[in-house]
Amino acid sequence: MTTVPKFVIGNWKMQARHEYGLELARGVAQGLRDNPPPSHLHTILCPPFTQLAGVHSELDEIGLPNEQLALGAQDCYPAASGPFTGDISPQMIKALGASYVILGHSERRQNHGETDAVIRQKVKAATAAGVTPIVCIGEHLAERNEGRAASVLASQIEGSLTRGFRGIVAYEPVWAIGSGITPSHEELQRKLTLIRALLPMRLMTDDIRVPVLYGGSVTSVQAPSIMSIEAVDGVLVGSASLEAQSFLDIITAAAEATTPQLTS
Ligand code: PEP
Per CATH, is 2-257 categorized as 3.30.470.10? no
238 C-alpha to ligand 1 centroid (Å)? 4
Pairing, β 6-11 against β 41-46:
parallel
| Ligand 1 proximity of 11 Cβ (cutoff 6 Å) | yes
Other CB atoms within 10 A of residue 206 CB: 8
Length of the chain equals 264
Query: Is there a contact between 258 and 40 (Cβ–Cβ < 8 Å)?
Result: yes
Q: Which residues lie across from 45 on neighbouring strands?
A: 10, 71
172 in active site: yes
Identify whether 40 is a catalytic site residue: no
What are the pLDDT tens digits along the chain (264 aa)? 567 899 999 999 999 899 999 999 999 999 999 999 999 999 999 999 999 999 999 999 999 999 999 999 999 999 999 999 999 999 999 999 999 999 999 999 999 999 999 999 999 999 999 999 999 999 999 999 999 999 999 999 999 999 999 999 999 999 999 999 999 999 999 999 999 999 998 888 778 889 999 999 999 999 999 999 989 999 999 999 999 999 999 999 999 887 666 555
Question: Does residue 102 line the site of ligand 1, with CB under 6 A?
Answer: no
pLDDT value for 264: 52
User: Catalytic one among 105, 107, 114, 143?
Assistant: 105
Contact call for residues 152 and 139 (beta carbons, < 8 A): yes
Domain chopping of the chain, boundaries: 2-257
Q: Is the dihedral of CA 56, 59, 60, 66 positive or negative?
A: negative
Q: What is the pTM of this model?
A: 0.96
